[in-house]
Chain A
């Protein structure tokens, strides 16, 4: 019933807000998704359609592109890891912004949970955890498809799954933190404004070298760029110390996101 022995991270979180039962939130989400399985399944098809349309269609015009180590790879093999990263981002952002905002302000779902021993930290971790589980399933399915199309060049690709989970965790945490500041649905235009250009320009569809230097620097600051480069390195088997830098980027995102989200939820829910 009381919070488990507190590791360092928990000390940044509001006291008495964690019952150690975030798992029950995920049980709830799983139960609810049985009713909305279609929406659940649709999340898998989006990256698949992009892969077919762009990889096969556009790929026949584009031909080969230079991979991370300069060796030419097929266009489909180039964009597939990008799409994997982007779908991890999109799923996590959607779950942690629109869905959370609705539950927070309209369904008053979290208010009902706070009448139980659950606290805001359970809520935040439970929702992020569910977004992760979902993202993990999509990533597994997409990686299988990539393998089926022969787009995986290295056993390192197995690590793309945990990497996708970390990416999803980071975006879910930041998304939830951002949602806690939103006041109306209009504010969600900002989410689209952030996510769509990131999807298009973060070397998802073409390499960084096509941009002028100043734009390259901008792109290099974007989180999705680091996700795409991380995935591409793993699925093509070009693994170096640089990947650790990308990983670090997401670890920082996770910590910042979780701390802000939990603190803000605490203020929003425990008025």
Chain B
């Protein structure tokens, strides 16, 4: 993929003796939304910082927009937008000034940033709050402002590091809607997240990272198809009458035992439920659901993602 916006080969990052990223290959095509999925400490943010040209790589090759971050950092940064994990808005400036001054850092003319700021305030639904200081905004509003700020230079590539962590469901959905609109406008996005539903909502393609390496790669549907079954039957038992995983195994393709429940991977959850009950195991509660990326992650790493 030579027209990739981002291409990494054997990319590594170490901090002293700690290796945060241990040799990854990544290709991000123009126009796609690409996800890094993984638990805290998987190496997602370190990778993002390298792509954002604010962290020199320790080994491997990396090209962003066809340039080398080690050589052309400022030139690359001029064409990308960054939404960091933690909001770092300028608390000494108003909401509007945050956008206008940020635009000036890119060398954009005053008149242009004025118009751009008005447009972005509208996009982030913050026009009424334009004169407020940042402190007066809610968490969701700050996040929207941070995203609006990252768009001030009309970036070709947008880097979003855990864009909705810590937001309530309503604020998350509003953000997802905004990101989806950007995708339709053709802005390539790279998203890190440890939320499965977010990855499934947003990403065309993603990699699952764990311990600094890539454990799997594909579209959400591909990954589910490859590493999981169509349906999952979740069973909870009374601790006194809890069967062993081995006893359940012949009713499903695969069984995962979690502290509070069993996950039975199967094509038809209802039928499996009937089989299990027929075999004399009576669960306290049961739930049939579609497989999700959470199941993929569990399969790949043997752990749940967010504990």
**Interface of A toward B, CB cutoff 8 Å:** 1-2, 16, 19, 21, 24, 27-28, 31-32, 35-36, 107-109, 111-119, 269-271
9-residue interface stretch from B27-35, B52-60, B167-175, B202-210 = B52-60
CB–CB B86/A115 < 8 A: no
One of B52, B56, B91, B104 near A115 (C-beta < 8 A): B52
Which range holds the interface residue count of chain B? Answer: 20 to 34
CB–CB A115/B82 < 8 A: yes
Once the chains are docked, how many angstroms separate the CA of A28 from the CA of B41?
34
Whether B36 is near chain A, meaning CB under 8 Å from some CB there, is no
- Counting chain B CB atoms within 10 Å of each CB, the highest count among A108, A113, A114, A118 belongs to A114
One of A31, A117, A119 near B101 (C-beta < 8 A): A31
Once the chains are docked, how many angstroms separate the CA of A119 from the CA of B77?
10
9-residue interface stretch from B68-76, B248-256, B289-297 = B68-76
Once the chains are docked, how many angstroms separate the CA of A109 from the CA of B102?
11
CB–CB B78/A24 < 8 A: no
Q: Are A115 and B15 CB-contacts (below 8 A) given A31-B97, A35-B92?
A: no
- Distance in angstroms from B58 CB to nearest chain A CB is 11
CB–CB B107/A111 < 8 A: no
**Interface residue SS majority, chain A:** loop
CB–CB B107/A117 < 8 A: yes
CB–CB B74/A1 < 8 A: yes
| B182-195 near A? 1/0 per residue, CB < 8 Å | 00000000000000
Once the chains are docked, how many angstroms separate the CA of A119 from the CA of B102?
14
Whether B84 is near chain A, meaning CB under 8 Å from some CB there, is yes
Once the chains are docked, how many angstroms separate the CA of A35 from the CA of B95?
13
- Counting chain B CB atoms within 10 Å of each CB, the highest count among A109, A113, A117 belongs to A117
One of A1, A32, A36, A117 near B105 (C-beta < 8 A): A117
Interface residues of B in 64-110 (CB under 8 A from A): 70-75, 77-78, 81-82, 84, 86, 88-93, 97, 101-102, 104-107
CB < 8 Å A-B pair total: 87
Sort A-B residue pairs by CB-CB distance and give the 9 closest, nearest first: A32-B92, A115-B82, A116-B105, A108-B88, A117-B74, A112-B88, A117-B78, A19-B74, A24-B104
Q: Mind listing 14 A-B residue pairs with CB under 8 Å?
A: A1-B74, A16-B73, A24-B104, A28-B93, A28-B104, A31-B93, A107-B91, A108-B88, A109-B88, A109-B90, A111-B84, A119-B74, A270-B56, A271-B15
Chain A residue nearest in CB terms to B152: A116
Once the chains are docked, how many angstroms separate the CA of A24 from the CA of B71?
23
Which residues of B lie under 8 Å from residue A113 when comparing CB positions? 105
Which residues of B lie under 8 Å from residue A21 when comparing CB positions? 105, 107
- Distance in angstroms from A68 CB to nearest chain B CB is 42
Chain B residue nearest in CB terms to A118: B105
Which residues of A lie under 8 Å from residue B88 when comparing CB positions? 107-109, 111-112
CB–CB B74/A271 < 8 A: no
Which residues of A lie under 8 Å from residue B75 when comparing CB positions? 1-2, 117
Which residues of B lie under 8 Å from residue A115 when comparing CB positions? 52, 54, 77, 81-82, 84, 150
Which residues of B lie under 8 Å from residue A28 when comparing CB positions? 90, 93, 101, 104-105
CB–CB B92/A2 < 8 A: no
- Counting chain A CB atoms within 10 Å of each CB, the highest count among B15, B70, B88, B105 belongs to B105
- Counting chain B CB atoms within 10 Å of each CB, the highest count among A1, A116, A119, A271 belongs to A116
Once the chains are docked, how many angstroms separate the CA of A172 from the CA of B101?
24
CB–CB A112/B73 < 8 A: no
